[in-house]
């Protein structure tokens, strides 16, 4: 048997407002985002950290021997040649970036941001490292 109608029913929005008011009065806050107390190291974050380490090592090598920058430019030119008329925008971005002074290039390649991670995914700088250097970085991240 249903309850009799009184005509005083609250709308869903009004019920929610009152519910939230009761929660606030009890000292509770609405959670708008979640941040883990312990950092979560997913495989993706480990790969990004490894990429950052590789690029920091490559930046150190180029700083010691600026002639390596010529190899990086040649690599980008070779990659651009594969695409002909419509190369990926990130390769064009790398070509333009490698035309700037080395400190600017090194800062962008080792930037700890989403933009830096995006650039490192298609970077010619990692090609400047020897196999032994790459293996040393990969081994350092092995669990």
Could you tell me if residue 121 is inside a domain? Answer: yes
The whole domain housing 115 covers 43-140
Q: How many domains does the chain have?
A: 1
**3 state SS for 116-138:** HHHHHCCCCHHHHCCHHHHHHHH
Could you tell me if residue 21 is inside a domain? Answer: no
Could you tell me if residue 24 is inside a domain? Answer: no
Q: Are 133 and 57 contacting, i.e. CB atoms less than 8 angstroms apart?
A: yes
Distance CA 82, CA 76 (A): 10
Distance CA 45, CA 51 (A): 10
Point out the least confidently predicted range of 25-29, 75-79, 83-87, 114-118: 25-29
Could you tell me if residue 61 is inside a domain? Answer: yes
pLDDT for 20-44, tens place per residue? Answer: 899 888 888 777 776 766 766 678 8
Could you tell me if residue 120 is inside a domain? Answer: yes
Could you tell me if residue 4 is inside a domain? Answer: no
Q: How confident is the model at residue 3 (pLDDT cuts 50, 70, 90)?
A: confident
Could you tell me if residue 68 is inside a domain? Answer: yes
Point out the least confidently predicted range of 39-43, 45-49, 51-55: 39-43
Distance CA 98, CA 111 (A): 15
Could you tell me if residue 91 is inside a domain? Answer: yes
């Amino acid at each position: 048997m249903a309850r009799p109608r009184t005509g005083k029913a609250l709308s869903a929005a009004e019920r929610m407002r009152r519910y939230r008011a009761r929660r606030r009065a009890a000292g509770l806050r609405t959670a708008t985002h979640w941040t883990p107390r312990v950092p979560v190291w997913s495989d993706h974050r480990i790969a990004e950290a490894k990429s950052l380490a590789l690029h920091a090592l490559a930046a150190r090598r180029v700083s010691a021997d600026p002639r390596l920058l010529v190899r990086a430019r040649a690599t980008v030119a070779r990659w651009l040649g594969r695409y002909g008329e419509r190369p990926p925008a990130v390769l064009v971005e790398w070509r333009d970036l490698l035309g700037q002074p080395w400190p600017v290039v090194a800062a962008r390649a080792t930037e700890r941001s989403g933009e830096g991670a995006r650039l490192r995914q298609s970077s010619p700088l990692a090609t400047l490292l020897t196999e032994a250097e790459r293996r040393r970085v990969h081994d350092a991240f092995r669990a």
